[in-house]
Amino acid sequence: MYSNILKNENYINSQWHATGNGKFLPVTDKYTQQEIAQVPFCTNEQMEEAIAASVTGFEELKSWSAGQRSEALEKMRVVLVEQQEEFAQLIAAEAGKPIGYARGEIARCIDTLKTAVSEALRFDGEMVPMDYNNGEGKVAFTRRFPIGPIAAISPFNFPLNLALHKIAPAIACGCSIVLKPAPQTPLVALAFAKLVDDLNCLPKGAFSVLVADIPEAEKLVRDERMKMLSFTGSPQIGWHLKNIIGKKKVALELGGNASVIVDESADLEQAAKLTAIGAYLYAGQICISTQRILVHHKVFDTFKPLLIAEVERLQVGDPRNEKVMVGPIIQPVHVQRIKEWVDEAIEGGAELLTGGKILSEENGLYAPTLLTNTKKGMKVCDLEAFGPVATLKKVDSFEQAVSISNDSTFGLQAGVFTNQFDHVKKAHEELEVGGVMINNIPGFRIDSMPYGGVKDSGLGREGIKYTMEEMTEPRLIVY
């Protein structure tokens, strides 16, 4: 199934290390709870080796031509195409991601690498207009130079593609990288390290992957030799890391509690179908999952049963079942947390429209849950649920929907279902988010687009070209 790509050792300075600090991280199948592998936690000395190696690896990689970097990325892409089913099966196991969606992730990974292959060749600076006043007769332009080694921390929910959103642009622009994958899903990142190692396509030390406990992880992000931190994960950890990393650059992608607005002109059947998928796919464990659904009062009573019907059609269960869209929650503690949040909302006056119960503690399954009559102060409204929970609210006007959507500490993406151009324009101008999806859910993403948020949702933008800009500095020349 995936045994040919499985690797349970840390990859440091182009070498595999089967031992670490004496502690091992057990990695389980998130549906069966059976252990897949154990991976050693690295030692402080091993993290030091990875950091030091990234410095020497950077010195070589930055001297490579754009063509060499592009060729290395293309080799990775070709092999990933050959091994895509094994990678998808491994994601389904260790991340609990429904197999169809896991295959979709690998397809996106292939596109991510393909985009980096071409961006490596065309990425550069700009001509700077200067032929006026004191600049008459002068020519000026910038070139972009890689800043140095990158410290990267990736999340569990897209264990390869969000790692590649750090790895691929780093290599494309000439930066070395040290990756710490999420403890729930380290095996896919280590499998990709095996792919790279087998190809022998990068300078020694330019790419390392380590499972690290908190002290070693903080060493990675604090070390002055690492010139940037690229982090995807929880707001609590992300802002903490920003406070301790000193002067280095930082990019943070920290999630949200995304809203969908459905106005009186929307195609309600299409909106209901897409919103149900957007709220509950992968048990809602996506940064841009739909969590708050705001519906105009003129269509609310029509839309509500349509949405409930779509939610109740979703199949829940074993992520290896081709028909399942809602698989297990990543850890038992989060199953209980979701139950507590939903129970708290109901006790506070919320109405349960569907779901609201644990389906299987053994398999980590929670029913797709839709609540209405919720209010500010409830966790299901104010915080990121990161589970199969959404709220449905009636609004008096499009303006009120925009105001409620903005009344959040988060601002990643939003969806707007409308056939009125003035609402399209207003949404783009006034919604406080990084991206507005028209007649689509907030979860829409193409890997080349600028992706990121405002407020507590983070800093900076992902998307290969945009990440390469973060990982480089422009240097001006005038003559």
Residue of 253, 310, 462, 469 with catalytic role: 253
- Please give, one letter per residue, the 3-state secondary structure of 277-331: HHHHHHHHCCCCCEEEEEEEHHHHHHHHHHHHHHHHHCCECCCCCCCCCECCCCC
Give CA torsion, residues 198, 199, 200, 206, to 10 deg.
Answer: -100
Shortest CA distance to 259 belongs to which of 404, 426, 389, 428?
404
Cα distance between residue 8 and residue 190, in whole Å: 7
Question: Is 287 noted as a catalytic residue in this protein?
Answer: yes
Q: What is the largest CA-CA distance in the chain?
A: 74
Q: Is the dihedral of CA 327, 331, 336, 340 positive or negative?
A: negative
Residue of 287, 381, 462, 469 with catalytic role: 287
Backbone angles phi, psi at 136, to 5 degrees: -55, 135
Q: Which residues are tagged catalytic? A: 253, 287
